Amino acid sequence: MSETHASKQIDHVMHEHRLFPPSKEFSNKARISTAEQYQEMYDRAKNDPDGFWGELGRNELHWFKPFDSVYERNGDVATWFGGGQTNLSYNCLDAQIAGGRGDRIAILWEGEPGETLTLTYTELHRQVCKFANVLKSLGINKGDVVSIYMPMTPELAIAMLACARIGAIHSVIFAGFSAEAIADRNQDARAKIQLTADGLWRRGKVLKLKDTVDQALLKSPTVQHCVVLKRIDRECSMQAGRDIWWHEAMESASADCPATPLDSEATSFILYTSGSTGKPKGIRHTTAGYNLWVKKTFEWVFDHRDSDIFWCTADCGWITGHSYVVYGPLSNGATVMMYEGAPNFPAEDRFWSIIERHKVTILYTAPTAIRAFIKWGDQHVDAHDLSSLRLLGTVGEGINPEAWMWYHRKIGGERCPIVDTWWQTETGGILMSPLPGVTATKPGSCTRPLPGVVPMIVDEELQPVEPNHGGMLCISQPWPGMLRGIWGDDERFHEQYWARVPNNYLTGDNARLDRDGYYWIMGRIDDVINVSGHRLSTIEVESALVSHPMVAEAAAVGRPDDIKGQAIAVFVSIKGSGSTAGLADELKAHVRKEIGALAVPDDIRFTSSLPKTRSGKIMRRLLRDIASGKAETSQDTSTLEDYTILAKLRSDEE
């Protein structure tokens, strides 16, 4: 590392040299099977985006009216397929049926109590048409916002597709958020209707969704109706004139509802994501560009084959569920596994039991889940036959190399490639990922950009950094799936993503490009730890800790230090219930050996769990407050999964 760059770039201290090329057997059958094929696509998308995307756009989507331009730069963002009209729901359903896949299973669902249900493309189409007619009968038109707060049941996907069918804009809110959070989002979006259920099953208990919604609707003046799915058959109050049962409305609804032709740039959905400060922002996505992006990225990254049973474990309340439970897989005619409940109900082997029973071939899950599985122990995995799996994926956070190795060995049987997919709510779909038949993977790296993605890494003075130095990750060229705005807040949109690095989309993540052309995501820009002028990435310190056999999870943050500027404080949860006596010193020595003296933690605290968002990301900003001894947090805690953790962590200090 050159000293002159020390304060502007991010220092890289982690060394990971293991390399895992795909097997010949996998590559031979893969849709993209050679590095040359990838390079050719990549170069064409970069140098001739008009030709590349124009051809894909024409061939891959159904057009009620053909587009007359591929893309046009329009202020910060580009607009795609201008002049054309298509429909997401049509591409996911009607186009599949027209292509002869009507009898294929679209959704293979398992509820937490254990019941299962399958829906073919024809049946899904019928239900979507019916529900679209229900929405219409309740006064929902093109451009109206539909707020969805539902369990992971097929009806959630049906609701989304029904909105898309008539050009209504859905705003899915994860069914674990509070009444306050729903009301905020409903207000911001000016939602016209609420969809919910009487309840949902979570770890064997009933979560009373309708009660929460009733509270939320007291503060959602724009919402006129509420449609309630009977999921658990419990008594719940129904307000006359406002509330309607899903099944009653569906009974009389016609199954005839042609898809509405929608402008390419029509808003398909908004999805609220918590910014690091302030109120959640409604990320706005479009119709044609988004559809093409999720369709192609699903095909490229998951190497989709007709025989696959694809299971993305994300909830539809997150972008991962939108893009890789619903729109990406269905517009490829795939069979999607959908599971309602918790991974540890009735026992910690639920995922492995689902894979074994339904013969899942592709598993796409999050590092937080993988770390939980490791903590729960191998015996839960060993009891099941996972030989149906052929490909694994991760998303949501960086994966620590040792967790990657466990996933590779224990779940993948050393046979399945792992696609570590880096992307964001804002990007619509995957931007960087290995191609499973091509890319030799390195544990902890999301490897290379997909065709159409042109990354750039700059230091704080906006100068491009040299290979192996970390800096701010930007994307230099528009891609079809990118967000088009923050709902109702153009200024925040510009400030947040475009103002700092002109003409580039600022991702908010730091990254490093290694000498082989592989990208390593180094965490959020705001989370960098600055020790004596050396800027360290959280993930590298955490990965060094996780590589110790006793450590299950770790979070590293900076706290103020008079001499060094910042000191490194780490929060560690250990595997099993062993003693932590002497472990702090051992971990310090371990980090010193793994990545060097610079990164040795000053404070180590042991904790049974870490504060996380409801989608499983470690909330380092809360830990920063605790590490620096603040009694109260000044941060927004509304997205915190378990409020009791903060109090527990604070009391551990005494």
Binding site for ligand WTA (CB under 6 A): 273, 318-320, 395-398, 420-425, 446, 507-509, 521, 524, 615
CB 188 within 8 A of CB 487: yes
Q: How far is the CB of 480 from ligand WTA (least distance, A)?
A: 17
Give the nearer residue to ligand WTA in terms of CB position, either 397 or 540.
397
Q: Considering the complex, state which of residue 159 and residue 283 has its C-beta at the smaller distance from ligand WTA.
A: 283
* 565: phi then psi, degrees, rounded to nearest 5: 90, -65
Smaller CB separation from ligand WTA, 333 or 443: 443
Kindly tell me which of 370 and 465 has the beta carbon lying closer to ligand WTA: 370
Q: What residues contact residue 59 under an 8 Å CB cut-off, 6+ apart?
A: none
Q: In angstroms, what is the minimal distance from the CB of 324 to ligand WTA? A: 9
> Minimum CB separation from ligand WTA for residue 638, in Å?
15
Position with the least CB separation from ligand WTA: 425
Residue type, 140: I
- Smallest gap from residue 615 Cβ to ligand WTA (A): 6
Give me the least distance between CB of 373 and ligand WTA, in Å please: 17
- Cβ closer to ligand WTA: 213 or 457? 457
The DSSP element (H or E) to which 593 belongs, if any, is helix 583-595
CB closer to ligand WTA, 76 vs 509: 509
Residue 308 C-beta-side C-alpha neighbours within 13 Å: 23
Cβ proximity to ligand WTA: between 52 and 318 the closer is 318
Dist CA 97 CA 376 (whole Å) = 43
Q: Contact at 8 Å (CB) between 71 and 78?
A: yes
> Least Å distance between CB 521 and ligand WTA?
4
Cβ distance to ligand WTA smaller for residue 111 or 428: 428
**Tokens 């941060």 correspond to what residue?**
635
DSSP for 428-472, please give it: SS--B---TTTPPB-TT--B-BPTT--EEEE-TTSPBPPTT-EEE
* Residue 271 beta carbon to ligand WTA: minimum distance, rounded to whole angstroms: 9
Alpha-carbon Rg for the chain, nearest whole angstrom, is: 24
43 contacts: CB under 8 Å, gap ≥ 6? none
Least distance (Å) between residue 519 CB and ligand WTA: 9
Residue 630 exposed, middle or buried by CB count within 10 Å (0-12, 13-18, 19+) = middle
On whether the CB atoms of residues 458 and 472 are closer than 8 A, the answer is yes
Q: Would you state the structure tokens that stand for residue 386, as one six-digit string?
A: 């996972």
Instruction: Return the axis-axis angle of helices 583-595 and 538-546, rounded to nearest 10°.
Output: 120
Residue closer to ligand WTA by CB (options 85, 424) is: 424
Pairing of strands 69-74, 77-82: antiparallel
What are the Cα distances from residue 467, in Å, to 11, 150, 242, 458? 12, 45, 59, 11
CB of 604 to ligand WTA, least distance (A): 24
Nearer to ligand WTA (CB atom), residue 422 or residue 493: 422
Q: How far is the CB of 446 from ligand WTA (least distance, A)?
A: 5
**Eight-class DSSP state of 613:** B
Report in angstroms how near the CB of residue 366 gets to ligand WTA at its nearest.
Answer: 9
What is the three-state SS of 11-76? ECCCCCCCCECCCHHHHHHCCCCCHHHHHHHHHHHHHCHHHHHHHHHHHHCCCCECCCEEEEEECC
Residue with Cβ nearer ligand WTA (332 or 425): 425
